[in-house]
Amino acid sequence: MKPFFNQPVGEVLQQFNVSPDQGLSSAEAKKKLEEAGPNQLASKKQKSIAVIFFEQFRSSMVVILLMAAAVSGVIGVMEGEGLTETFIILAILIVNAVIGVVEETKAQSSLDALNKMSAPRSKVLRDGEVTETVSTQLAPGDIVILDTGDIIPADMRLIEAVNLKIQESALTGESVPAEKSTEVIDASDVPLGDRDNMAFSTGVITYGRGKGVIVGTGMDTEVGKIAGMLQSAQETETPMGKRLEQLGKILGYVALGICVLIFAVGILYGNHWLEMFMMAVSLAVAAIPEGLQIVSTIVLAIGVQRLVKLNAIVRTLPSVESLGSTTVICSDKTGTLTQNKMTVVEGMVSGNRIDFRNPPVPEELSDDERILLNSSLLCTDAHLKMLPDGTHENAGDPTETAIVDIALALNLNKNEEEQQYPRVSEVPFDSERKRMATVNQMAEGKLRVNVKGGLDEVLGVTTHILMHGKVRAITEEDITTIRNENDRMAKSALRVLSVAYRDIDRLPDRVDAETIERNLVFIGMLGMIDPARPEVVEAVKKCKTAGIRPVMITGDHKVTAVAIAGEIGIYTEGDKAVAGNVLQEMPDEELYRDIEKYSVYARVAPEHKVRIVKAWQSHGDIVAMTGDGVNDAPALKQA
């Protein structure tokens, strides 16, 4: 069967025997729910405290100590010395196990607290009526109504999309919301981030509205596949665990050798065999360092407590030592190396560049710069909320909240600007014309049309340009300069918005794109990116100084990934970057051979991340993985 993104809407609806206007009947929904099961991820049964306790006794060292305790007990009874040494060894092992159990259960309870979220509800069309239902009760074939702010409850094929944008960064690694449509995708091998006619579980709608038919629930969703990979991942042994296991075996062989040697020598000298056996065993027991296990556990527990003070949860004690042995760090980009927050970093107005990384003093803004910020600010649907402590919160599309942030930093408050220049009409953004326009009431009764959008789309309706406070006809030379600047920003992985305006005396009888968006005055451009965290550059330097190789693994586009990696020092001259589609075709042998050449892996799927971690591990490297997205989970488990 063809993937759902390759099928027309009618074909998908027919497959699930559902009407887009009526939805499933209650009886059909109940039947399908019974067949597919609840719309939730299957979870592994958590280990009980008893299981965690007995797991502390699995290592070779502990087994040898238990044998030593048994032998000491036998010797003590036979020689009339009692069981003191046996009880001491057992007490050490029990204290060691208790410390391990306490630390692991504390970490697990912290993780459980992080995982507890209220069950979301969804608007579903059943029996021709829209009702709200708990998302776990959704079934394949259900028609779900999607509005701004909704969380996608399951994987669905979109059957209606009106200016729909969905934030899928947790799954795909892309910083900006994906624009969605209902058009059929012809290609078969399409990354998740490019499946524009699909909506995936855990996505958040940031703009527009739509409808979708559910094609996968629970473990049959893309997130479910990741959960399945997590559950099938093998537990990896830590470096310390390997070394202690090795030491335990060596001590075991040494103790056995001592027993045999002493016993043989004693017999040769004519001593009684029982006496020699007792002596040999006593020496073997004495050779075993009973305190090593508890000393190593206490040292690791101290490390855990130190990390707790740095707001880090350590789930298992040996991970502390593994962290210190790390040779390679594979890091996700979005939200880990970057802030997961679009930020305006560059601009252009009157042919001059503006560096918003080092923004001008608000009082020194030129009139043209002020118009650029004012028009772009008024032409946003983002919301600004000022908090009592002087900080603020934003809500809305990330590119628009970026404009609100930079304007506020330069003393232009969106709420105050809208109060002074109220919106009287608008032409909303749509994915065909890739522009948005608002009409605002300006001073002295004038109206101003403010437009923002893609460069080609804005230039297509522009006839004039603002240059140093004066409006004149735009020339081919102006357009060439603008395009060159746009290309320069795009090569730096910036998302570029163009801004224009037009003053009118009154609203036309019919307000639409044709009557409003024409004869515009081009103001300038704003370039934005999800920037690197301020502390990352120094962290990368420290890693390299410590002999640790940092690499970037991301679901985002290659150009963006390389730009950020170059900025923070992960990608340097001579390094290579590889995209997920190339990685997909690359044999494991080739990846193993060339793994050290690559510093950036872009547009990768969760299974690619696992392959990359395994390839580094096969070189004998101790690999750490960092990431905050659902798509990072299998690689985190593997590392």
Rounded Cα–Cα distance for residues 94 and 53 (Å)? 9
Q: Are strands 447-453 and 435-441 parallel, antiparallel or unpaired?
A: antiparallel
CB 498 within 8 A of CB 522: yes
Rounded Cα–Cα distance for residues 621 and 210 (Å)? 47
Rounded Cα–Cα distance for residues 552 and 493 (Å)? 16
Q: How far apart are the first and last CA of the chain?
A: 35
Residues 6+ away with beta carbon under 8 Å from 255:
64, 284, 285, 287, 288
DSSP 152: P
Which residue in 601, 595, 635 sits closest to 615, CA to CA? 595
CB 529 within 8 A of CB 342: yes
Rounded Cα–Cα distance for residues 311 and 626 (Å)? 15
Which residue in 168, 182, 263, 280 sits closest to 222, CA to CA? 168
Q: Match 């983002």 to its residue by tokens.
A: 382
Catalytic residue chosen out of the listed positions 155, 220, 332, 632: 332
Amino acid at 325: S
Residues 6+ away with beta carbon under 8 Å from 165:
177, 178, 179, 180, 205, 206, 207, 208, 397
Cross-strand bridge partners of residue 453: 435, 498
Question: Which element (helix H / strand E) includes 89?
Answer: helix 84-115
DSSP 431: T
* Secondary structure of 492-504 in HEC code, one letter for each residue: CCCEEEEEEEEEE
Give the dihedral sign, CA 191/193/194/196.
positive
What tokens appear for 21 in the block? Answer: 């206007």
Amino acid at 279: M
Residues in the chain: 639
Cross-strand bridge partners of residue 209: 147, 162
Rounded Cα–Cα distance for residues 352 and 485 (Å)? 10
Query: What number of H helices and E strands is found in the chain?
Result: 23, 23
| Burial (CB count <10 Å: 0-12, 13-18, 19+), residue 14 | exposed
Which residue in 458, 488, 498, 616 sits closest to 551, CA to CA? 616
Rounded Cα–Cα distance for residues 621 and 288 (Å)? 31
Cross-strand bridge partners of residue 130: 125
Residues 6+ away with beta carbon under 8 Å from 100:
52, 56, 297, 317
Rounded Cα–Cα distance for residues 377 and 385 (Å)? 15
Q: Are strands 204-216 and 343-349 parallel, antiparallel or unpaired?
A: unpaired
What tokens appear for 469 in the block? Answer: 């406070």
Which residue in 23, 16, 27, 20 sits closest to 126, CA to CA? 23
Q: What are phi and psi of 141, to 5 degrees?
A: 100, -15
Is 332 among the residues known to form the active site?
yes
Active site residues: 332
